[in-house]
Amino acid sequence: MTTKTAGILALFDYLDDVEAALETIKGRPEFKDHILYSHTSYHELVHHAEERYGPSQVRWFTLTGALTGATTGFWLPILCDLDFPLIVGGKSPAFNSLPPNLIFIFELFVLFGALATILGMLWLGRLGNPHARILDNRLMDDKFGIFVPGAQVDGEEASLLKSQGAFEIKKTS
Amino acid sequence: MSDTVQWDKTISDVNEGILKGVEGRPHPTYYIALVFALTLLAIGITGWGLIVSFGIGLSGKSSPVYWGTFITDFVFWVGIGHAGTLISAILFLFRAKWRNSINRSAEAMTVFAVITAGLFPLIHMGRVWNGFWTLPLPNTNNMWVNFRSPLLWDVFAISTYLTVSLLFWYMGLVPDIASLRDRVKGFKRFVYGILSLGWTGNIRQWHHYETGYGFLAALSTPLVLSVHSIVSWDFAMALQPGWHTTIFPPYFVAGAILSGCAMVYNLVVPVRKMFRLEGFIKEEHLEACLKLTLLTSTIVAYAYAIEFFIAWYSGSYYEWAIFKGRATGPYSFYFWTMTFCNCVFPLLLWSRKIRYNIPVAMVICFLINIGMWFERYNIVISSLAEDFLPGSWGHYEPSIIDMCMTFGSFGWFFSWFLVFTKFFPFVSMSELKLIMPKPLRRKPTH
C-alpha cells in the first residue's frame, strides 16, 4: 500500500476545509496517490471516494453470497429428501412439497449474503491487518487528514494544503 | 428528529466523553448492578445444576403441559432480541437519526438476548450434554431431518438471526474499537488492535464500509420480520386451540418490538447514568424510543382484541372456550397482568410529560417487560393445559426451579450486558458524530 511510503500528513479541523482541499488537489499529478482520512463517514467525503474509486464492489460480494445461499437453501432439503424420503402428513417429499423450502431459501439467502458482504468489506477495505500503520491518533478522534506520499514538509504540496486550511503538516516515514 | 436536539457537546467531546467510562471507573452503581446480575446468575446456575443432577422432573412440566416456563423464557428472550436489529437496520434505512445514540446498546441487547434464548431449548431437553443430536446436520447420525417442521425452521431462523446480528454489531464496533486502540497501551492495545482489524479510517475503508453496512441493513430488515414470524409458527402450525391462528406472525412481531423497545429503555437509562453519557444520549432520543413503544403497544392491544373477537366470531367452540378460560379461568391472573401491562399502562405514554419523566417511563417499560413475559406464558400454558379433550386437561404452575431458571436468565443477560458496557463503547461514536453539528469553519446559513 502507498501508506508504507514516506510522505506528509496534513491535518484539518474542519470538514469544509477538507472538501475545499480535495477540490483543489483534484487532477493534480503530485496528489495522484493521496489518501484521505476521516473519523466518521461524512457523506461529502464518501462521495469523494465514490468519484475517485468508483462504486463499491461490495455489492457483487453480497449478490454472489445471497444467490449462493438461495441455491443452497433450495437444494439442501430436496437432496436430503431424495436421500431419505421422509413422508410427513401423507405428502411425498422433495419436489412435491416445495413451499416449506422457501424458509430455507430465505434464511440462507440472508445468511450467506451477510457473510459475503462482511468478506467484501474486509477484502476491499484491506482490513484484517493488525499491523496497519496509524499515522496520527487524532484521525480517529475529531480530525481529518490528507496523506501525500513522497511529498516534503517544506514542499509545494505542503504549502498548498496549508493554504487550504490544514492546521498542521507532519512528516511520516 | 435529532435536527431539533440541542447539543451541548461537540464532535471533539465524543471520543473523550464516551471512552472515559471504558478507560476509567464507572459510577459505583455499576458494580452494584453487576453484583446483582451475578447473584441472579448464581441462582440460575444452581437451578440448572439441580436439573442436571436430579432430572427434568424438578421443573413443573407434567402432562399435558410439556412446554413450560423454559419455552416461555425462550420466546420472551427471542422477542427481546428483536428490537436491536429493528433499531439498527430498519431505522437506519429510514434514516431515523435518533437511532444513532442507542443503536449500539440495542444491538448488544439483541446479541445477548438471542444467546440467552438459545440456552433454553437445551435446558428444556434436560440432558443438555446430548444437545448436539438436535443440530440440523442433514442426514447424518441417522437423524432424518424433517424440513417441514416449524421447529427446524426456527433453528435456521434463529441461528441466522444471531449470526447476522453479531456481524452487524461487530462491524459497527470496528471503527470505535480502533479509536479505543489508539488511546490505550500495553496488552489492551494488543487486544483492541486485533479486534479493530487494522482499521485506520481511510476513505477507501469508509467507502466499502458504508456500502456494506447498507447491504447488511437491507438483508437484516426482512430478517427482523421473519424471525418472530417463524417463532410464532412453532405455535400457529399446530392445531391446538388458541395457537392455530393466522394473526400470530404480525402479533408476535409487534409484541417482540414492544418488549425490545421497553428493554432498550430499561437498559439505556441506568447505563447512561453509570457512564455519565447524558450529553450523548439525550432525552429526545429516549422519548423517540418511547414513542415506538407506544405505537407497538397499540398494535399489540389491537391484536389481543381481534384475537378475542375472532375466537367468538369464528363460532369455533374450542377456540372460544380457550379464550374465555384465559380471561376467567385458572390463568386469569396472567391474562389480566398481561393486558394491563401491555395495553393499559403504556397508554400513559401519550402524555409528553410522562415521556420526559424518566423514572415513571422506566416503571412503565419495566411493567411492559413483565407483561410480555406473561403474554408468552399465557400463550404457551393456557392452550396446552386445556385442549380438545377434557379428559386430558391438566393444570400447570411453575416450580421453584423454573423460577430460578427464569431469574437466572436475567442474571446471565445482564451480566454479559454490563461486562460489554465496561469494555466497549456503549454509544456508537462514529455514528453519533453524524447526527451532531458538522465541524464547519463557515457556519451554514439557514
For B339-348, what is each residue's pLDDT tens digit? Answer: 999 999 999 9
3-state secondary structure of A172: strand
Q: What is the pLDDT of residue A4?
A: 56
> B244-300: per-residue pLDDT in tens?
999 999 999 999 999 999 999 999 999 999 999 999 999 999 999 999 999 999 999
CB–CB of B110/B224 below 8 Å?
A: no
Residue B10 in this model has a pLDDT that exceeds 90:
no
Q: What is the pLDDT of residue B84?
A: 81
- Which of B147, B160, B216 faces A117 most closely, judged by CB atoms? B216
Q: Could you tell me what percent of chain B has a pLDDT over 90? A: 69
**B148, A38: Cβ pair inside 8 Å?**
no
Domain ranges in chain A are 2-39+142-172, 58-124
CB–CB of A8/A170 below 8 Å?
A: yes
Distance from CA of A32 to the nearest CA of B (A): 15
CB–CB of B417/B109 below 8 Å?
A: yes
Closest CA to B310 of B300, B323, B297: B323
User: Taking all residues of chain B, what is their mean pLDDT, rounded to a whole number?
Assistant: 91
Contact residues, chain A, for B430 at CB < 8 Å: 39-41
Q: Which three cell numbers stand for residue B49?
A: 445444576
Q: Give chain A's residues under pLDDT 70.
A: 1-4, 130
Grid look-up 418488549 returns B259
Contact residues, chain B, for A131 at CB < 8 Å: 198
Distance from CA of A37 to the nearest CA of B (A): 4
When pLDDT is cut at 50, 70 and 90, the band that residue B130 belongs to is: confident
Q: Which residue of A has its CA nearest to B160?
A: A111
Grid look-up 437432496 returns A79
Q: Which residue of A has its CA nearest to B12?
A: A142
CATH topology of domain A2-39+142-172: Alpha-Beta Plaits (3.30.70)
Distance from CA of B427 to the nearest CA of A (A): 14
Q: How many CA atoms lie within 13 A of B11 on its CB side?
A: 24
Distance from CA of B263 to the nearest CA of A (A): 26
| Angle between the N-to-C axes of helices B400-423 and B99-125, in degrees from 0 to 180, rounded to the nearest 10 | 140
Closest CA to B183 of A36, A171, A139: A139
Distance between CA atoms of residues A137 and A160, nearest Å: 23
Q: What is the pLDDT of residue B3?
A: 55
Q: What is the pLDDT of residue A161?
A: 93
> B22-65: per-residue pLDDT in tens?
888 889 999 999 999 999 999 999 999 999 999 999 998 888 99
Choose the mutation target among A4, A13, A40 for the interface with B, i.e. most B CBs under 10 Å.
A40
Strands (E), chain A: 7-12, 35-37, 144-149, 168-172
Domains of chain B: 2-435 (1.20.1630.10)
> B187-245: per-residue pLDDT in tens?
998 999 999 999 999 999 999 999 999 999 999 999 988 998 999 999 999 988 999 99
